[in-house]
Amino acid sequence: MLAVGPKDLLFLFSEPMDMRKSFDGLCGLIRNCTDKNPMDRNIYIFVNKSRNMIKLLRFEGDGFAIYFKRLEKGRIELPKKQDDGTVSLKISHATVMMMLEGIGLEKRKNRKRHQSKNSL
């Protein structure tokens, strides 16, 4: 089972993805487009062009797990894209949960919280 916790590192791919890709194709994208290893237990997030499908990929120690969601109505709202040329964007647990639940990202207001050096 793919579980997403608040301490997990999550990386959203900024370009739309072909949702026909499975484990090997997604791992290849991670290796070829980033400096990351897909077996590092981080969670990698992919969204298709029409933004009605999302995949989360994670290595769980003995194999890969994919969470795949297809919306019957609506679209997945994505965080603003960075113009620095990066392929993947580090995002927070809260952002992923809001994306999966259909909560708008633009109008949210983050309240001040203490953050340690290791947090997002």
Sheet holding 10-13, edge to edge: 64-70, 53-59, 43-47, 10-13, 88-91
User: Could you report the per-residue pLDDT of 84-117, keeping only the tens digit for each?
Assistant: 667 888 998 888 888 888 887 776 665 666 767 7
Rounded mean pLDDT, 38-45: 95
pLDDT at res. 109: 62
Parallel, antiparallel, or unpaired: how do β-strands 53-59 and 43-47 relate?
antiparallel
pLDDT at res. 42: 95
The CA distance from 90 to 9, in Å, is 7
Q: Model's pTM, two decimal places? A: 0.83
pLDDT at res. 88: 84
Q: Where are the domains of the chain?
A: 10-101
Rounded mean pLDDT, 52-72: 94
Percentage above 90 pLDDT, the chain: 52
Parallel, antiparallel, or unpaired: how do β-strands 88-91 and 53-59 relate?
unpaired
Give residue 69's pLDDT band: very low, low, confident or very high (50, 70, 90): very high
Mean pLDDT of the chain: 86
SS3 content of the chain, % helix, strand, coil (to 5): 15, 20, 60
* 91 close to 13: Cβ distance less than 8 angstroms: no
The CA distance from 8 to 92, in Å, is 8
List of residues 6+ apart from 27 with CB closer than 8 A:
38, 57, 64
Q: How many residues does the chain have?
A: 120
Rounded mean pLDDT, 4-31: 92
pLDDT at res. 119: 52
